[in-house]
Amino acid sequence: MAEAVIKLGKRKQKSSFIDKVKEILPEGGNLNACLTCGACASGCPATGLADMDPRKFLRMAALGMDEEIAASDWPWMCTMCMRCIYVCPMKIDIPQLVFNARALRPREERPKGILGSCDMALKNDTTSAMGTTEEDFEFVVEDVLEEYREAQPEFADMEAPIDKQGAEFFLNQNSREPVTEPDELVPLWKILHLAGVDWTYGSKGWAGENYCMFLADDDAWKHVTEMSVKQANKLGCKTFLNTE
Amino acid sequence: MTFSVRAGLKKFNLEHNFEVKNLYEYYAKWIREGKLKVNSDWNKDLKIKFTVQDPCQIVRKSYGDPIAEDLRYVVKSVVGEENFVDMQPNRSNNYCCGGGGGFLQSGFKEERLQYGKIKDDQIKATGADYCIAGCHNCHAQIHELSEHYGGNYPVVHLWTLICLSMGILGPNEREYLGDDLKEVNVFHPETAM
């Protein structure tokens, strides 16, 4: 017979990291429901990196090891691909736990590459992580289009409109294409042309990438998404079409 | 990017009058409707084998297996069904390549390549000559895996193959094709730069 109840999981503080995440997720992200089966960890490519895996990460959060979680680089090695929640029998939202763990660090201490790409996207209304301005984008698109219309006469009436009012599709594009490999824009334009698609880029918010989301900076993520959304609304497009 | 927009609209409750869609669904639709007259004759004798990466953001995180099926329909239409080899596991159950979530920009290169070992093993196990990657992060990561682990399989965008199959891919639009496909079905070869 047990004489005293053994107390497990002494919390270091009253409202720990995991409790805060539970508050903001539907059904608390099921973060209390772990059966410790290990399906998440066994099917996770990030298992073993930084001496961590998804199950261990969740257990540490459950045990209130908030300082260790904040100090770990693992949340930046997990890609939040959601395979863990996909295979989890209890549908535990480990990716959201990771996302929120990224935000435990002061913004300026988060990985420089992601931070720099997010900050760059905030500089222009194009939201390009490569800092491409509206003018530069317009120049590249027009220049490439003209070159191909001439070189490939079958496509002499091909279009690549920017801010075409009432177009059906609002298309976005990864900044790397217009900036570093403009010829890669062309196959997609040809496909849209042959399919007879009524589409447009937006001078604002055409850039498809969003590093602010990866940075776990909600305000900046919102800004980047809102810029594209407002432009698509303004142009009256019915479909927001993502290339990736 | 599909996921950031879909999740962002919901999370920040942004007013909008449009649907958020991904291009793969439309490639499939336009091929089914006969608007894109693709065919795989160019690969009948070449028999170059292709596998495809399921981008997490589009498949598992957004539209699930139906869009993975659309993706396969497009790939098979342009390279030939007999020249497509699926990796295992696949569709919603596929592994992330390790290029997502900002990993390519986070500075942990060694860990990122270790993460990607599973993807490289999956691709090699198919015996495919090429890996098709739809999104830019996947493309960059798998390309690096191919060089780092010595598989040296080219990694190619889907739009490149769609245009190749329609005979409208020019000589300067072949950056990511391997030597075996640089000269195949070239549109306006005289414009080579």
Query: pLDDT digit string (tens) for A177-203?
Result: 999 999 999 999 999 999 999 999 999
Contact B191 A151 (CB under 8 A): yes
Quick check: A168 and A197 in contact, CB under 8 A? yes
Same domain as A93, residue A51: yes
Kindly report whether the peptide bond that precedes residue A45 is cis, defined as omega within 30 degrees of 0.
no
pLDDT band, very low/low/confident/very high, at A10 (cuts 50, 70, 90): low
* Nearest Cα residue in chain A from B1: A208
* Nearest Cα residue in chain A from B97: A45
In a domain, A5, yes or no: no
Q: What is the pLDDT of residues A109-145, one digit of tens each?
A: 999 999 999 999 999 999 999 999 999 999 999 999 9
Out of A105, A126, A160, pick the residue that ends a domain.
Answer: A105
In a domain, A11, yes or no: no
User: Hey, what amino acid is at B71?
Assistant: L
Exposure string of B159-168, with b = 16+ CB inside 10 Å and e = fewer, is bbbbbbbbeb
State which residues form the domain around A197.
112-241
Residue A99 has pLDDT above 80, yes or no: yes
Alpha carbon B77 to its chain's center: 14
Contact B92 A86 (CB under 8 A): yes
pLDDT score, position A192? 98
Same domain as A87, residue A199: no
Q: Answer whether B23 touches A (CB < 8 Å).
A: yes
Residue B1 has pLDDT above 80, yes or no: no
Chain B nearest-CA distance from A32, in A, is 23
Out of A105, A132, A162, pick the residue that ends a domain.
Answer: A105
Average pLDDT, integer, range B55-82: 97
- Domains in chain B (CATH in brackets) are 35-186 (3.40.50)
Quick check: A158 and A193 in contact, CB under 8 A? yes
Same domain as A145, residue A89: no
pLDDT score, position B2? 85
Report chain A's mean pLDDT, rounded to a whole number: 95
Indicate if the alpha-carbon torsion angle B181, B183, B189, B192 is positive or negative: positive
Q: What is the DSSP secondary structure assignment for residue B169, as one 8-state letter?
A: B
In a domain, A4, yes or no: no
Residue A53 has pLDDT above 80, yes or no: yes
Q: What is the pLDDT of residues B81-135, one digit of tens each?
A: 999 999 999 999 999 999 999 999 999 999 999 999 999 999 999 999 999 998 8
Contact A79 B99 (CB under 8 A): yes
Q: What is the DSSP secondary structure assignment for residue A201, as one 8-state letter?
A: B
In a domain, A3, yes or no: no
Contact B173 A225 (CB under 8 A): no
Set of chain B residues whose Cβ sits within 8 Å of the Cβ of A191: 27, 30, 36, 159, 162-163
Chain B nearest-CA distance from A133, in A, is 19
Most distant pair of Cα atoms in chain B: their distance: 53
Among candidates A183, A197, A243 on the partner chain, residue whose Cβ is nearest the Cβ of B173: A183
Same domain as A170, residue A142: yes
| 3-state SS class at B6 | helix
Same domain as A149, residue A87: no
In a domain, A84, yes or no: yes
Same domain as A120, residue A86: no
pLDDT band, very low/low/confident/very high, at A87 (cuts 50, 70, 90): very high
Complex-level ipTM: 0.97
Residue A8 has pLDDT above 70, yes or no: no
Report chain B's mean pLDDT, rounded to a whole number: 97
